[in-house]
Structure 1
Amino acid sequence: MATDAAAASGGEEHQVGRNDRLVILASSVGTVIEWYDFYLYGSLAAIITVQFFSGVNETTGFIFALMAFAAGFAVRPFGAIVFGRLGDLWGRKNTFLVTMLLMGLSTFVVGLLPSYAAIGIAAPIILVLMRLIQGLALGGEYGGAATYVAEHAPHGKRGFYTSFIQITATAGLLLSLVVILGVRTAVGEEAFAEWGWRIPFLVSILMLAVSLWIRLKLSESPSFKRMKAEGKGSKTPLKDSFGKWPNLKLVLIALVGLAAGQAVVWYTGQFYALFFLERVLKVDASLSNVLIAVALLLATPFFVIFGWLSDKVGRKPIILLGCLLAALTYFPLFQALTTAANPALARATATSPITVYADPADCNVQFDPIGKTVFNHSCDLAKSYLAKAGINYTNVEAPAGTVAEVRIGDDVVVPSFRGESMSGADFAAGKKTWDASLGEALAAAGYPAKAASAEVNKPMVVGILFILVLYVTMVYGPIAAALVEMFPTNIRYTSMSLPYHIGNGWFGGFLPTTAFAMVAATGNIYYGLWYPIVVALITVVVGFLFVKEGKDVDINA
């Protein structure tokens, strides 16, 4: 049964004073800067593809760039284990300092790293290594920050106080977009693509200095100090967290019933929405950043609003309602986003739908781990062009041996060609001619090469993005308090960090790569949405059945 916080320590409830509020604010500011460092990569994925993966073909290069982005997420659970254990053994504050230093230095190194053209394969290898270090650092950062703030907050206000930590991820993303946009505007697009992209990474060293200064001023949390004074700390936090079924069961419930759904809603509403605007709908990168930044600014206060509301009605109903609303509305929202952001593409798709008529045996999975394979089958040529162009198409099976065709509407047919038996020079010339003919046919049918910025319905796009981010605030605003309340103080850092980072590092971090692969495989630009929808619905069911409300739990007991 939930107990009153006042009963925890002899009837005295910890009251948050002015100094505590400043400490909580300082902790949040430091975490914003960590997220800024981490999300610079995602915001600059297209340029990084050119800089560090130029030795492979374009499609493979972009997939590699997404995988390098995901690498930072892949190791976050391991960072949660390593730094969670340290945080439970020797304190939240000391762990903060280590994670910040690792994050800041690895980000600075990326800004100095020579390109693929300069040092060859060493460039992407070092880049991925830096991403791995960033992921480890972030794996240790969030759980400590959430635990630290929750342990400072008075009973009845944990949702409100921890919601400021929840703002930090979006604020870090927003800060990265603002800095990128400012540098882009100052130096121009050409210079930014060549060298200006490094500036946001290099600036992080100044932010690192500020963050370290902030973190050095922090005091240890009251709960941790009380636990140490009473000799109740765990000497084996990993074993106590994951080696004993009662607590391991809670970890699994926290993962599937809360964190997984929260993660896919967060990444769909922010990162995948930006990816969809730029890569699929072909909206200018600068305009895309401005639109998502405006939506983030408008929606950010709702992190605090839903955190505060969770203190009144509970964490569980708000988080699960956000997951459910997202799952039910993603398809119509992204379809509306297409109409608003690239109306010419929406019109062409409706009036002249595309069909790839091909022998399935002629179609290959277009991912080459080495980056040197030439995809020269007739089906591969057709699908590769359409995928790069962000054009929706359906697949129709043709008889064995049929040369693939791209059918535009009811009347236009553009036959592909067999390139597998051609010499390299002949294939290159044939592909150039075929690309041009298909491009002309698509243009004649109304398919734009890119979205016309003047035709983008900017208020409508911002409105749709705002709704997507509003779902993010519903699931993310209360999640820190919800996870903290599930576990005892002596293993809290370790126990809550792992499900959070498996959820956000794996379920969420792999979302762009997974969704892109699903789109490429089917030809349906909306098909990738099935991934977050299914995960969110699983969280709704598991959370409803197994997650216990914790807003009235005494976290000092």
Structure 2
Amino acid sequence: MATTETRPMSAEEKKVIFASSLGTVFEWYDFYLYGSLAAIIAKQFFSGLDEGSAFIFALLAFAAGFIVRPFGAIFFGRLGDMIGRKYTFLVTILIMGVSTFIVGILPNYASIGVAAPVILICLRLLQGLALGGEYGGAATYVAEHAPAGQRGAYTAWIQTTATLGLFLSLMVILGTRTIIGEEAFADWGWRVPFLVSVIMLIISVYIRLSMNESPAFVKMKAEGKTSKAPLSESFGQWKNLKIVLLALFGLVMGQAVVWYSGQFYALFFLTQALKVDGATANIMVAISLIIGTPFFVIFGTLSDKIGRKPLILLGCLLAVVTYFPVFKALTKAANPDLYAAQQSAQVTVTADPAECSFQFNPTGTKKFTSSCDIAKQRLAGASVSYENIAAPAGTPAVIKVGETVVNVKYSAEDIAAAKAKAEEKLAALNAAEPKDAKAIEAATKSVKDLSNEKTAGATLLGTNLSAALKAAGYPAKADMAKFDKVTVIIILTYLVLLVTMVYGPIAAMLVEMFPTRIRYTSMSLPYHIGNGWFGGLMPTTAFAIVAQTGNMYNGLWYPIIIAGATVVIGGLFVKETKDNDIYADD
């Protein structure tokens, strides 16, 4: 057990902890730029696909960075346990910074074709590897400098870095958008936040070169107790592997989905499901982060007094109990017209169940082309909840909005009639005075799309479905005049507070679960499997669940089930760690 005597943090120790935290903020900034700009990156690098598929592929490329994080944790964790925390830090931030800068200068799909998304995904993989080695080192480094009895308070500063990095990325994006305008930002301005990161890279490298090595590692090295095989010791011996598994399933798995639900999924839900414009959604999330971020330190400090485990599991439990009512309240506050339409106009998809796929495709190699899948993709993309009705085998899918029936598949005669009607409308617009340039441009595009054999069916479906939804009161986007800013901020802040409750104490707890000689390796792997795989795949998985079930809120079952499992496993099998001696050999 640790001694109850605590010592004050020296000025030098405070300096190196600040340096470590600041460098980690910059790394998270680099990593989250991509997530914040997913919609624009989809158009720049996946423009060979339709809009919905392009966004899904962009999310999958985002997730690719998370998928490789455990491999970065293994590789850099081993280095950190063998040669030290400081130099491992330096390598990870160089990889992250250079990869981010290259994204800023990478030609898009229109310039170099398929090479663009291939290179982009490779850069995302490098970012994920670097981040996989970053967090465990930062948390270990800070905890090994902290006085006994104050590790929760000091490591909580590291916990703020992910949120601060996200906040900083949102602010740079918002500032660039405001200065150059939306059109220029979508064209080339999105590159600016990536290019600016090179300044942060220089600052971070300078800061990290000035840091001292962890005192626990220095002591262990002087005593000749460093591990020669941290991987086999961490994962090849059951006494350590058992703790790794408990850390993953009894702590990190639930923490991860609460974290991504409260910050990233909330942002995706606002922009994609509720159709709130990107600038407003970013401002709302940024305000909630400003309000909520101090609570990382508050809950970290509180965990030094009452324990880490009760706070983490309470945060997970609150998520399980409140997510459905909270996200429904968010819909009512952010897009009341959509909320009202969902209550008044029933939408159904009648289809052959054999044609309906579960649209989860993490490899990005499968296309969903059946009429059922197309219908569900369209409705999910339009934020429309619907009921599934089974039809006889071989029956093409049909969408019904209120009393209006919308076919999903169209014959050549249907397309020819629609084309003739569109040409008639275009001729009338061209003959009218004064001329409506925007209407003429839209009508010209409609005629062109209906003339193209490959796009005609999709165009006609889109036109008919949009008309039916509009007649039923479904808005194309959120009406900002009805947007309840105060309520939205309150809801988002609550979600961030749950994040701080589960995330604030977890670094200290993970550090305290493992001996010094294998700490970097052992704690990094469960952290990055939990956050990289369970958390990083959440947007894609949630979208697939929504498309499959027809309910825009059903994506929440993913974090609810995982957080619930963590409450049970953690409650039964994970031991409290706040009084553990982190200098102990075992």
TM-score bucket (shorter structure): over 0.9
TM-score normalised to structure 1 length: 0.95
Amino acid at match of 1:473: T
Residue 477 of structure 2 aligns with an amino acid whose one-letter code is K
**C-alpha deviations, 1:430-488, integer Å up to 9, x for none?**
44334222211211111000111121111111111111111000000000000000011
Report whether the alignment pairs 1:515 with 2:508.
Answer: no
Aligned to 2:470: 443
Alpha-carbon offset, residue 412 of structure 1: 2.8
* Amino acid corresponding to residue 81 of structure 1 in structure 2: I
Alignment match, 1:24: 17
* Runs of 5+ consecutive residues of structure 1 not aligned to the other structure: 7-12
Counterpart CA distance in 1 for 2:186 and 2:195 is 15
Q: Name the structure 1 match of 2:408.
A: 416
Q: Which amino acid aligns with 1:119?
A: I
How far the C-alpha of 1:556 sits from its partner, in A, is: 1.1
Q: Distance in 2 between matches of 1:49 and 1:115?
A: 10
* 1:61 equivalent in structure 2: 54
Letter in 1 for 2:17: I
Q: How does 1:237-316 map to 2 (within 5 A)?
A: 237-316=230-309
Amino acid at match of 2:273: V
Name the SS of the counterpart of 2:196 in structure 1. Answer: helix
Q: Which residue number corresponds to residue 442 of structure 2?
A: none
The 5 Å alignment of 1:172-183 reads 172-183=165-176
Percentage identity across paired residues of the two chains: 64
Residue from 332, 335, 338 that aligns with 1:339: 332
Deviates more, 1:348-357 or 1:159-168: 348-357
* Paired position in structure 2 for 1:104: 97
The aligned runs of 1:142-221 (5 Å cut-off) are: 142-221=135-214
Q: Is the 8 A contact 2:26 2:200 kept in 1?
A: yes
Give, in angstroms, the shift of residue 401 of structure 1: 3.9
Q: What is residue 230 of structure 1 aligned with on the other side?
A: 223
In 2: Cα distance, 1:322 partner to 1:408 partner: 39
- Deviation per residue, 1:321-355 (Å, 9 max, x gap): 00000111111111111111110000000011211
Per the TM alignment, residue 308 of structure 1 is displaced from its structure 2 partner at its CA by 0.3
By how many angstroms is 1:518 displaced? Answer: 0.9
CA contact (8 A) 1:5 1:554 kept: no
CA deviations on 1:498-521 (whole Å, 9 max, x unpaired) are: 111111111111111111111111
* Aligned partners of 1:55 and 1:116 also within 8 Å: yes
Match of 1:4 in 2: 3
Are 1:391 and 2:418 matched, yes or no?
no
CA distance in 1, matches of 2:566, 2:356: 36
CA contact (8 A) 2:360 2:544 kept: no
1:494 aligns with 2:521: yes
Q: Which runs of 5+ in 2 are unaligned?
A: 416-450
Question: Partners in 2 of 1:374 and 1:544 — Cα distance?
Answer: 41
Cα distance change, pair 169–545 in 1 and its aligned pair in 2 (3 A) = same
Paired residues of 1:61 and 1:371 also in contact (CA < 8 A):
no
Q: Is 1:529 equivalent to 2:556 in the alignment?
A: yes
Match of 1:543 in 2: 570
Shift of the 322–181 alpha-carbon distance from structure 1 to 2, 3 Å rule, reads same
- 1:408 CA drift (Å): 2.1
Alpha-carbon distance between aligned partners in 2 of 1:380 and 1:180, rounded to the nearest angstrom: 35
CA–CA distance in structure 2, aligned partners of residues 189 and 143 of structure 1: 38
Give the partner amino acid of 2:3.
D
Match of 1:75 in 2: 68
1:18 CA displacement: 1.4
Q: For 1:229 and 1:16, how far apart are their aligned partners in 2?
A: 23
The alignment partner of 1:152 has SS state of coil
Per mean C-alpha deviation after superposition, the further-off stretch among 393-402 and 170-179 is 393-402
Matched with 1:324 is: 317
CA gap 1:220/1:239 in 2 versus in 1, 3 angstroms? same
Query: What are the residue-to-residue correspondences of 1:354-373 with 2, within 5 Å?
Result: 354-364=347-357
| Alpha-carbon contact 1:57-1:371 (below 8 Å) kept | no
In structure 1, how many angstroms separate the alpha carbons of the residues matched to 2:296 and 2:236?
34
Contact 1:5 1:553 in 2 (8 A): no
1:359 Cα offset (Å): 2.3
Structure 2 CA distance for aligned equivalents of residues 168 and 477 of structure 1: 11
Pair 1:485-2:512 in alignment: yes
Which has the higher mean CA deviation after the structures are superposed, 58-67 or 163-172?
Answer: 58-67
| Bigger Cα displacement from structure 2, 59-68 vs 361-370 | 361-370
C-alpha distance after superposition, 1:114-166 (max 9, x if no partner): 00110011101110110011011001000000000000000110000000000
Displacement, 1:39?
A: 0.4
The CA RMSD over aligned residues, in Å, is 1.9
Query: 1:454: which partner in 2?
Result: 481
Residue 320 of structure 1 deviates from its aligned partner by 0.4
Aligned to 1:9: none
